[in-house]
Chain A
Amino acid sequence: MGLAQTDKYYLPQPSLWPIIGSVALLLMAVGGVMTMREIDHGGWVLLAGTAILLFMMFGWFGEVIRDSEAGRYNKQVDSSYRWSMSWFIFSEVMFFAAFFGALFYTRVLSVPWLGEGDTMQQLWPAFQSTWPTAGPGLTADGFRFTPMGAWGIPAINTLLLLSSGVTVTWAHWGLKKNNRMQLISGLAMTVALGATFLGLQVYEYHHAYTELGLTLGAGVYGATFFMLTGFHGFHVLVGTTMLLVMLLRSIAGHFTPGHHFAFEAVSWYWHFVDVVWVLLFILVYWMI
């Protein structure tokens, strides 16, 4: 197929992008801490860092895309990208594992422990260790909340994400058959489904905060709920952005049936986000 294959492994020139990224992360860390500690102008430092990071990502990924379209990546480079994306997704699995672990530990072990034994009876005699809970101290202080039900927005979101897994695969089939129309419309549908998911999740969070009394501070249920669904939502945002880039690149005529690992990497990532959601739906929303 079209692209020239070089015999040598492509070694990029010296690059300024990494050090720009380091400056960005330094500013983001300092700005983030200033913001959290309510020090003046922290927000501006954080914003500057974020802007530089976005600039770096545009520049760096742009360079990689130009290298790829110029045919500098041979089969071995392609294989490197495949290995690295697999390991990156594995690292993401482990990141979510920490929070699923916290959910498991509190639900199965530490919350029941809070309801048994003499010490706990002395401290919080009225506490019923059931799930979901805001914990004995908060409950004793009169804190109340309503947990998030599974069969409203979360169920719709499950349908949306599962459908998006189908549309992205359909787009991939189109790419492999060199049917650009199928590729582009499949990707457009996937982006739309991802964006709708995010919109509904924003609505759900607003509902939780304003009507259910369910906040980050709602004990260990609120903490695990928002951290798990929040980090997942962030991954959907990243995934949708990457899909959008794939859509724009497809419209610009990038990718060939035999050379399109960027597309595949994004769809792997998308399926991973999908699987995490199914676990979330079952363990966070449904089984309460």
Chain B
Amino acid sequence: MSDAAHAHDDHGHHARPSGVMRWLTTTNHKDIGSLYLWFSFIMLFAAGSMALLIRAELFQPGMQLVQPDFFNQLTTMHGLIMIFGVIMPAFTGFANWQVPLMLGAPDMAFPRMNNWSFWLLPVAGILLMSSFLLPGGASAGGWTMYPPLFIQGGISYDLTILAVHIMGLSSIMGSINIITTILNMRAPGITLMKMPMFVWTWLITAYLLIATMPVLAGAVTMLLTDRNFGTHFFNAAGGGDPVMFQHIFWFFGHPEVYILILPAFGIVSQIIPTFSRKPLFGYASMVYATASIAILSFTVWAHHMFAVGMPVAAQLFFMLTTMLIAVPTGVKVFNWVATMWKGSLTFETPMLFSIAFVCLFTIGGFSGLVLAIAPVDIQLQDTYYVVAHFHYVLVSGALFSIFAGIYFWLPKWTGHMYDETLGKWHFWLSVIGMNTVFFPMHFLGLAGMPRRIPDYALQFTDFNQIATLGAFIFGFSQLIFLAVILKSIKGGARAPDRVWEGAEGLEWTVPSPAPYHTFETAPVVK
């Protein structure tokens, strides 16, 4: 098997363009994976800077730094970019690098389309970021784009809508590529139930993306025609209903939540067994739990809308289905803990981030359960409790898993070990910073502080100051992460093929760094 893996460049590979043309025209899954990851990292700093501006403004009550409208632009763009420009591209980057390596495939199923899926993202990025410079500034209607506010805005709202269309196109093409690769390009012997958990989670994520991104496209298309072509989808005077947008949006939006977390589950499910030196506990139940979460995710969307005035029967239905999702999620948390149980544990940086993921994501999951209770949600809707909840699942959930995955596979990608000391600094500052920002927000929300408002009543000052302090610790500690990555690219201890002692899977049978072309002849897996 390793012979096949090492035999590369043996049949006249096409001359690769150099310089910037290499990256513009590449059809190589590793190049494209790196592009996705770097794009995501740059956007993390862009949207992270917006978050720091938000937190700086909120350091004190009263208006200090920014105008209220600009504050709204910041919260809107921070949300849109973090979701569509950071978390989703990062996971797609992981999929590009790892899925072919884990399945023994020579590349993705459609290498040219793979390139386009990536190169659409900078187009959307340009449309979104340039809107800050236009008259009226960027979109300020919130990342959820609710009408009527989103219908009333200026030119950047149109740009945002088209950016969403283009990001959707990118996601759909990327997902069709990933799903086809997984279903059709597995090396002989890798049956579905032998696939690494990361591949399973991406198979299901790709399905969710293909099912929901077109629905989002439909929703924003209706916004666009309501804005520019005189339709009345969301206008009661014409027989439409603004709440209809919320239904269509969240039919996309809730599965989207799982799009943002299932690949995280996959990454953590690769890392915890490695550093526990035990196989993943309950592999099959993990697969079934992932599939159950995906199916249930289509039945819970209106828990985002308990306050809009739905019939009680609908509120009860959505409340109960939402709580039901805690069951498969609980199965997963149990399995991760059971994998560590009596394992031979070591605590390298990827493992630290994964353990933090399990603990902190669980906190975010529990606050989600609190919000799922319709009568409680009526109180907490649009308060900082909601902000605390989704940052626990998105920062200490999705983003921490991305950190963990980068540390885990970086030696395979660059051929060098990363700096473990700096990695630990990054971990501890991130975990302390993250909790300092978001834990006090639970109290702020319970006390009634509304989200998306640039000013607040005096009694919220202390917790806001703590949160702002934490935000700056968390934000600036990401520079350490950048340093770690650059250092590992430039040099460091040589990484062996099997980077980690307990690592299992095909990607650890190829050299580090992984050669440009791998598995041109499929390996045989028993």
Give chain A's interface residues, CB within 8 Å of chain B. 8-9, 11-19, 21-22, 25-26, 29-30, 32-33, 36-37, 60, 76, 79-80, 83-84, 87-88, 90-92, 94-99, 101-102, 105-106, 109-111, 113-114, 133-138, 215-217, 219-224, 226-227
Which of A8, A12, A26, A92 lies in contact with B214, CB distance below 8 A?
Answer: A92
14 pairs across A/B with beta carbons < 8 Å?
A11-B27, A15-B115, A22-B116, A32-B158, A80-B185, A88-B172, A90-B210, A91-B214, A95-B217, A96-B218, A97-B214, A98-B222, A101-B218, A223-B222
Which of A9, A11, A13, A134 lies in contact with B239, CB distance below 8 A?
Answer: A134
Which of A19, A25, A91, A102 lies in contact with B172, CB distance below 8 A?
Answer: A91
- Contacts of B126 on A, CB cut-off 8 Å? 26
- Interface centre among B25, B26, B237, by most chain A C-beta atoms within 10 angstroms, is B237
Instruction: Please name the 10 residue pairs, one residue from A and one from B, whose CB atoms are nearest each other, closest first.
Output: A137-B237, A98-B218, A135-B239, A18-B116, A220-B239, A95-B214, A217-B230, A223-B231, A135-B238, A110-B241
Stretch touching chain A among B104-112, B142-150, B377-385, B395-403? B104-112
B22/A220 in contact, CB under 8 A: no
Return the chain A residue nearest B127 by Cβ.
Answer: A29
- Interface centre among B106, B113, B177, B214, by most chain A C-beta atoms within 10 angstroms, is B214
The complex places the Cα of A99 from the Cα of B520 at a distance, in Å, of: 44
B24/A19 in contact, CB under 8 A: yes
Give chain B's interface residues, CB within 8 Å of chain A. 14, 16-17, 21-22, 24-27, 105-107, 109-113, 115-116, 119-120, 122-123, 126-127, 155, 158-159, 162-163, 165-166, 169, 172, 175-177, 179-180, 183-185, 210-215, 217-219, 221-222, 225, 227-233, 235-241, 243-244, 247-248, 251, 520-521
Q: How far is the CB of A215 from chain B (nearest CB, A)?
A: 7
Q: How far is the CB of B241 from chain A (nearest CB, A)?
A: 4
Q: How far is the CB of B170 from chain A (nearest CB, A)?
A: 10
A8/B112 in contact, CB under 8 A: no
Return the chain B residue nearest A107 by Cβ.
Answer: B239
The complex places the Cα of A32 from the Cα of B155 at a distance, in Å, of: 11
10 new A-B contacts at CB < 8 Å, known A84-B177, A87-B180: A11-B27, A36-B227, A84-B180, A91-B210, A98-B219, A98-B248, A106-B241, A109-B241, A138-B237, A227-B222
The complex places the Cα of A99 from the Cα of B175 at a distance, in Å, of: 22
Q: How far is the CB of A21 from chain B (nearest CB, A)?
A: 6
A9/B222 in contact, CB under 8 A: no
- Interface secondary structure of B, over-half rule: helix
The complex places the Cα of A17 from the Cα of B26 at a distance, in Å, of: 11
Given contacts A217-B231, A223-B233, contact A76 B185 (CB under 8 A): yes
B24/A16 in contact, CB under 8 A: yes
- Interface secondary structure of A, over-half rule: helix
Given contacts A94-B214, A106-B239, contact A9 B232 (CB under 8 A): no
Given contacts A8-B106, A98-B215, A220-B232, contact A18 B238 (CB under 8 A): no
- Contacts of B240 on A, CB cut-off 8 Å? 106, 110, 135, 219-220, 223
Q: How far is the CB of A121 from chain B (nearest CB, A)?
A: 14
The complex places the Cα of A150 from the Cα of B398 at a distance, in Å, of: 51
B179/A83 in contact, CB under 8 A: yes
Q: How far is the CB of A176 from chain B (nearest CB, A)?
A: 24
- Contacts of B229 on A, CB cut-off 8 Å? 216-217
Q: How far is the CB of B60 from chain A (nearest CB, A)?
A: 38
Return the chain B residue nearest A33 by Cβ.
Answer: B158
- Contacts of B107 on A, CB cut-off 8 Å? 9, 11
A136/B247 in contact, CB under 8 A: no
B238/A83 in contact, CB under 8 A: no
Which of A11, A36, A136 lies in contact with B111, CB distance below 8 A?
Answer: A11
The complex places the Cα of A109 from the Cα of B10 at a distance, in Å, of: 64
The complex places the Cα of A29 from the Cα of B220 at a distance, in Å, of: 14
Which of B14, B25, B239, B243 lies in contact with A221, CB distance below 8 A?
Answer: B239
Q: How far is the CB of A7 from chain B (nearest CB, A)?
A: 9
The complex places the Cα of A159 from the Cα of B25 at a distance, in Å, of: 46
- Interface centre among B113, B119, B184, B230, by most chain A C-beta atoms within 10 angstroms, is B184
- Contacts of B113 on A, CB cut-off 8 Å? 18
The complex places the Cα of A92 from the Cα of B210 at a distance, in Å, of: 9
B521/A8 in contact, CB under 8 A: yes
Which of A22, A80, A137 lies in contact with B123, CB distance below 8 A?
Answer: A22
The complex places the Cα of A6 from the Cα of B443 at a distance, in Å, of: 64
B120/A133 in contact, CB under 8 A: no
Q: How far is the CB of B361 from chain A (nearest CB, A)?
A: 28
The complex places the Cα of A12 from the Cα of B112 at a distance, in Å, of: 7
A29/B116 in contact, CB under 8 A: no
- Contacts of B177 on A, CB cut-off 8 Å? 84
Return the chain B residue nearest A223 by Cβ.
Answer: B231
Q: How far is the CB of B177 from chain A (nearest CB, A)?
A: 8
